[in-house]
Amino acid sequence: MHIGVAWFLGVSAVLFGIGLYGVFTRRSPIILLLSIEIMLNASNLALISAARYSGQQAGQVFALVVMAVAASEVVVGLGLVVAMARRRADLDVDSLTGLRN
């Protein structure tokens, strides 16, 4: 059976789901960021597949931009984690209930 673009998209979906599970389930901010990375990579895969399938460069460009954004986001997130650790706060996202009404 020929591996078509549908397979790549399927793998992308599965990875996305796994990342989603991680986001929902884990409480440590580090692991949370890692799960978000998985999700971003999954969408990158989908973009690249679409680019290859359609023959347009835009998908690759988009994927590169996503990578840059992911990197920025990781920087900020890890900065927050470090700040939290420095304040001796609990590294547990469930304790951060400032949005509570």
Partner 1 sequence: MTYDVVFVVASALAILSALGVVLSANPFHSALSLIGNLVSLAAMYLLLQSDFVAAAQVIVYAGAVMIMFLFVIAYLGGRAEEPVRSRPWYQTVGAIIAAVAIVAEVGFAVEEQAFGNGASVSDAFGAPQVIGASFLGRYVLTFEATSVLLLIAAVGGVTLAARRPAPREEGAIGAFEIQRPVTSISLQADVVDAETRFDVVRTGRARDEDGEG
Partner 2 sequence: MSSFEALSWTCLFAPLAGAVVLTLAGSRVSRTFTAWAGTGFALVSFAAAVYVTYKLHHEPKFHHHGAREHIFTLYTWATSGSFKVPLDILIDPLSVVEMLVVSGVGMLIVAYSIGYMHEDPKERRFFIYLDLFLFSMLLLVMAANFALLLAGWGLVGLSSYLLIGFWHERKAPVDAAKKAFVMNAIGDVGIAIAIFFMVRDLGTVEFQGVFDQAGSRWAQGSETANWIAFALLVGAVAKSAQIPLHTWLPDAMEGPTPVSALIHAATMVTAGVYLVARTHVLFENAPDIQAVVALTGVVTLLMAGVIALVQTDIKRIIAYSTMSQIGYMFAATGIGAYSAGMFLLVAHAFFKALLFLGAGIVIHALSGEQDVRRMGGLQPALRKTATLMWIGTIGLIGFWPLAKDAVLASALAKGGTTAMIVWVGGLIGAFFTGVYATRLMRLTFYGQRSTYADVHLHDTSHGEAPRTMLWTVTALAVGTILVGFLAIGFGTKDELASWLRFVAPTVESSVSNEVLTTALGWGAGLAGMTLVFWAYSRPERLAAVKRPLRAGAVVAENLFYWDAAYRRIAYLPASVTASALYRWFERWVIWGTVSLIAYVVRAFSRAATEAQNGVVRLYATAFVAGAAVLAGYFLTRASL
Cβ distance to partner 2 smaller for residue 32 or 40: 32
Smallest distance, partner 1 to C-beta of residue 3, A: 5
Residues 6+ apart with CB under 8 A from 53: 5
Q: Is position 20 an interface residue for partner 2 (rule: CB under 8 A)?
A: yes
Quickly list DSSP for 7-58: HHHHHHHHHHHHHHHHHHH--SHHHHHHHHHHHHHHHHHHHHHHHHHHT-SH
93 near partner 2 (CB under 8 A): yes
Residues 31-50 within binding reach of partner 2 (CB under 8 A)? 32
Residues that bind partner 2 (CB under 8 A): 20, 23-24, 27, 32, 93-94, 96-101
